[in-house]
Amino acid sequence: MESFNRLVKLAARAFYDDVTTKGDNQPKTGRSDNRGMAVVVLDALTRRQWVREEDLAKDLKLHSKQLRRTLRYFEEEKLVTRDHRKETAKGARIFSAAVAATGDGQSSGKDGEEKLKLHTHSYCCLDYAQANEIFDVVRYRLHRMRKKLKDELENRNTVQEYVCPNCNRRYTAFDALQLISPDDESFRCESCRAELVAESDKRAAEEMGDNDDNARRRRREKLKDMLQKMEEQRDEMGCREWKVEEEEKEMDLKSDLSWGRMQVQLKPLTDLLNRVKDLPVPEFGSLQAWEARANAAGRATNGDPSANDSSRSSQGQGYGGTPMPFLGETKVEVALSGVPVKDEDSKPDVSATTMKVLPPWMIKQGMNLTMEQRGEVKQELKTESGSTANQHDDKKSKVNDKDDGKSIQASQKKHLCDEYLKAYYAALLQRQQDQEEAAKRNQQESANTDNMSSEMPRQVGMKSKREDDDRDDGVEWEEAPTGNADKTYKMHDLNIEAEPEASGEDEDDIDWEEGGAIEVSSIYSYDLYFKDMARSKTGVSRQEVYGKSSRTEKATGTSDTRGGRKLQIVLYRKQKQKATEKKVARARSLRGDGVQDEASQVH
C-alpha cells in the first residue's frame, strides 16, 4: 500500500505537475493558473479510499467544479475511478458510516442531515485495482516516453538527408526516386552529378562549421529541453543517487548522454514499479462493495474495543480487504527511534565502559541498526552482571542511583548526568576520555557502594530479578516503599522529577519523564527500550514494566537487560506480529508524545 501510494505520488509529480485542466483557449491569468492542483488532488486521494467529491473538495478547499474537472481529467488518464449515483440522505449516511469505519471520519461531515432529496453524488477513488490500472498507466507512459526519446536520439524515424559534397545542395530521402542514377544505382546530385553523401556521416563536421541548418537542430534543442525538464522533475522527486547511477549507466547509453541520464532519472520510478509489480494490489472494489465491507468492519471494530485504532492505519487495515503490507507505519516508527539512536547508544556505552574494555560493537555506533546494537549491548551487560556481584553492583549503583537515594549518590548522579550530556554531544573521539572517566567513576562508585554495604543484599537480589521476570514483581513491590522514600528526598534535592512516587500508571510515567530536565537523557534511552519491550510483550506485562520504571530506576535497569534480550525478537516480531502491536498501539501513541517532548528537551 505504501509503495502504491508512493508510486502515485511520484507519478503525480513527474507527469502531472504542470498539467492544467483549463482549455487552451482560455487566457491564462495568474489566478486561474491551477497547475499543481493535480498533484494535490492525487496526494489527497492516496490518503483516502472512496471519497465523495464534495467532501474531497471541502477538505482541499477547492471549488467542487474545479475538483471535478481535475478528476475528470484523471479519469481519462485512468488513474481514478469514479462512480455516480442518485441517492437520498440515507445513501449518503451509509457512505458516511463507511467512511467513519475506515477512520477517515473527518471527511464525513454533516452529510447525514441532508434533505431527503435525490442528489447525484459522485465518488472517486484511486484506481489501483481494476486491471492494476495505475501501475500499467505509469508503466505505459514511461515506455512511450522512453521509446520516443530513444527514437529521436537514434535518429530512428528521421528522414535521412543527403548532401552534395561539391555544391552543398541538400536532398532528403524523399527525393530518392529522382536522385537514383540509372547507371550505378548511387545517388547523384541533380545539378553537378556528384555522388551524394548521407548527412549523418557529415554531421560532426557540419556542426562545427556552418549553422544554417535548422529544423534538426531545433528539434534536438527541444529534446534537450525536454530532458532537462525531466531532470528537474527527478531532482524534485529527491533522486539523490543520481550521480553514482549515472556513471553506471554511462556504459549502456547508446547515442547520447542524455538518454542515459533519462534512464537514471527514471530509476526511482522504475524501481518502484518493479517493487510494486509483485505486491498484492490494494483493492477497494466498487463503491458499493467497499461501503458494505467498510461498514461491516466498522461494526466489528466497535465490538472489539482494543482494535478500534483503525485511524492509525486508515489505509484499510480494519476492513478485511486484501492483506496490505504496512511499510509506512513501521517506517515511521523507525524514524522516530532513529533520532535518539545516538544518545541511546552512547549511554549504554558509558555504562558499559564502567565494566570493562569496549567490545567491538563500539565501532558500529554510528550505524543505523540500533535494534541489534542495543540487543548486543544488553546481552553484554547481562553477562557482565552475571559474572561478578561487585561489577554488577557498580553498574546498578550507577544505573539505579536514584533508588539508593543517598546524598552521596545525588552528587554522583549529577556527575552521571554531566557525563551523559557529554557523551551525547561528543562523538567517538571522546570515547577514550569517557572510558577513563567512567573507570574513575567506577572506582568511586564501587567505593560508595562498599560504604553502603547495607544496600548490597538488595542489589544482589535485583540481579536475580534481572534474570527472572516472574519473580520480578514480588520483589519489586516489597522494595517499593523504601525506594519511594529515598526517591522523594532525592527528587527534592535535585529539583528534577516532580512526581515519580505517584507512579502507578503510565501517565505518571510520562509526566515524570517530562519533568526531569537533566534526568531525561538517561531515562530517555530506557524509555525507548521500554517501547520496544512493550511491543514484544502483552499489555499486562508492559504495564508492569512501566510501573516499575516509574517506581524505581532499578526496575529500569532490570527491564533494560530484559529489553536487550528481547530486542532481537522484537525486530523479528515487529514485522509479522501486528495483532500485538495493535493492542499496544494506543498506549504507545500516548507514550509517543512523551518521547517526542523528551527529544525536544534533550536537544
Q: Is 155 in the site for other proteins (CB under 8 A)?
A: yes
Q: Is 185 in the site for other proteins (CB under 8 A)?
A: yes
Q: Measured from the CB atom, is 156 or 219 closer to other proteins? A: 156
Binding test (CB under 8 A) with other proteins, winner from 166, 191, 200, 228: 200
Q: Measured from the CB atom, is 199 or 419 closer to other proteins? A: 199
Q: Measured from the CB atom, is 195 or 493 closer to other proteins? A: 195
Q: Is 426 in the site for other proteins (CB under 8 A)?
A: no
Q: Is 219 in the site for other proteins (CB under 8 A)?
A: no
Q: How far is the CB of 8 from other proteins (least distance, A)?
A: 30
Q: What share of the chain is helix, strand, coil (3-state, %, to 5)?
A: 70, 5, 25
Name the 3-class secondary structure at 195: strand
Which of these segments, 35-43, 75-83, 183-191, 538-546, binds other proteins (CB under 8 A)?
Answer: 183-191
Q: Measured from the CB atom, is 196 or 381 closer to other proteins? A: 196
Q: Is 444 in the site for other proteins (CB under 8 A)?
A: no
Which H or E run includes 124?
strand 119-126
Q: How far is the CB of 264 from other proteins (least distance, A)?
A: 24
Which of these segments, 61-69, 174-182, 345-353, 544-552, binds other proteins (CB under 8 A)?
Answer: 174-182
Q: Measured from the CB atom, is 200 or 443 closer to other proteins? A: 200
Which of these segments, 172-180, 223-231, 468-476, 478-486, binds other proteins (CB under 8 A)?
Answer: 172-180
Closest CA to 4 of 288, 282, 386, 256: 282
Q: Is 173 in the site for other proteins (CB under 8 A)?
A: yes
Kindly give, in sequence order, each residue whose CB lies less than 8 Å from that of residue 504, ignoring residues fewer than 6 positions away: 547, 550
* Helix ranges restricted to H, 237-364: 242-249, 257-265, 267-278, 287-303, 327-338, 341-353
Q: Is 174 in the site for other proteins (CB under 8 A)?
A: yes
Q: Quote the CA–CA distance of 533 and 566 in Å, as a whole number.
A: 7
Q: Measured from the CB atom, is 87 or 213 closer to other proteins? A: 213
**β-pair partners for 126:** 80
Q: How far is the CB of 156 from other proteins (least distance, A)?
A: 6
Binding test (CB under 8 A) with other proteins, winner from 27, 61, 110, 159: 159
Q: How far is the CB of 186 from other proteins (least distance, A)?
A: 6
Q: Quote the CA–CA distance of 527 and 535 in Å, as a whole number.
A: 12
CA distance readout (Å), 473 to 163, 462, 523, 543: 95, 11, 20, 11
Q: Measured from the CB atom, is 186 or 306 closer to other proteins? A: 186
What is the chain's alpha carbon radius of gyration, rounded to the nearest angstrom?
34
Q: Measured from the CB atom, is 155 or 446 closer to other proteins? A: 155
Tell me how long the chain is: 603
Which of these segments, 21-29, 61-69, 177-185, 423-431, binds other proteins (CB under 8 A)?
Answer: 177-185
Query: What region does 155 belong to: left with phi over 0, alpha with psi -120 to 50, or beta?
Result: left
Q: Measured from the CB atom, is 196 or 555 closer to other proteins? A: 196
Q: How far is the CB of 160 from other proteins (least distance, A)?
A: 4
Closest CA to 548 of 449, 471, 450, 442: 471
Kindly give, in sequence order, each residue whose CB lies less than 8 Å from that of residue 386, ignoring residues fewer than 6 positions away: 392, 463, 467
Q: Is 204 in the site for other proteins (CB under 8 A)?
A: no
Contact between residue 397 and residue 448 where contact means Cβ atoms under 8 Å apart:
yes
Binding test (CB under 8 A) with other proteins, winner from 84, 86, 144, 156: 156
Number of residues interacting with other proteins: please give it, by CB under 8 A. 17
Q: How far is the CB of 227 from other proteins (least distance, A)?
A: 22
Q: Is 180 in the site for other proteins (CB under 8 A)?
A: yes
Contact between residue 51 and residue 71 where contact means Cβ atoms under 8 Å apart:
no
Q: How far is the CB of 159 from other proteins (least distance, A)?
A: 5
Q: Is 140 in the site for other proteins (CB under 8 A)?
A: no
Q: How far is the CB of 252 from other proteins (least distance, A)?
A: 15
CA torsion angle for 478, 480, 482, 486 (degrees, to 10)? Answer: 160
Q: How far is the CB of 175 from other proteins (least distance, A)?
A: 8
Q: Measured from the CB atom, is 160 or 288 closer to other proteins? A: 160
Q: Measured from the CB atom, is 255 or 538 closer to other proteins? A: 255
Q: How far is the CB of 161 from other proteins (least distance, A)?
A: 10
Q: Is 446 in the site for other proteins (CB under 8 A)?
A: no
Q: Measured from the CB atom, is 199 or 309 closer to other proteins? A: 199
Binding test (CB under 8 A) with other proteins, winner from 186, 387, 388, 390: 186
Q: Measured from the CB atom, is 173 or 362 closer to other proteins? A: 173
CA distance readout (Å), 192 to 164, 189, 220, 330, 574: 8, 6, 31, 76, 81
* Helix ranges restricted to H, 501-552: 506-515, 519-536, 539-551
Q: Is 160 in the site for other proteins (CB under 8 A)?
A: yes
Q: Measured from the CB atom, is 173 or 456 closer to other proteins? A: 173
Q: Measured from the CB atom, is 220 or 578 closer to other proteins? A: 220
CA distance readout (Å), 525 to 347, 444, 557: 7, 24, 11
Which of these segments, 76-84, 122-130, 154-162, 543-551, binds other proteins (CB under 8 A)?
Answer: 154-162
Q: Is 176 in the site for other proteins (CB under 8 A)?
A: yes
Kindly give, in sequence order, each residue whose CB lies less than 8 Å from that of residue 485, ignoring residues fewer than 6 positions away: 405
CA torsion angle for 549, 554, 558, 563 (degrees, to 10)? Answer: 40
82 backbone dihedrals φ, ψ, rounded to 5°: -130, 155
> DSSP state, 51?
E
CA distance readout (Å), 80 to 8, 46, 132: 11, 11, 11
Which of these segments, 119-127, 170-178, 382-390, 485-493, binds other proteins (CB under 8 A)?
Answer: 170-178
Q: Quote the CA–CA distance of 16 and 36 in Å, as a whole number.
A: 7
Q: Is 187 in the site for other proteins (CB under 8 A)?
A: yes
Q: Is 177 in the site for other proteins (CB under 8 A)?
A: yes
C-alpha cell at 268: 526511482
Name the 3-class secondary structure at 580: helix
- N-term to C-term CA, the chain: 34
Binding test (CB under 8 A) with other proteins, winner from 198, 257, 363, 367: 198
Closest CA to 300 of 90, 101, 582: 101
Q: Which residues bind other proteins (CB under 8 A)?
A: 155-160, 162, 173-174, 176-177, 180, 185-187, 198, 200
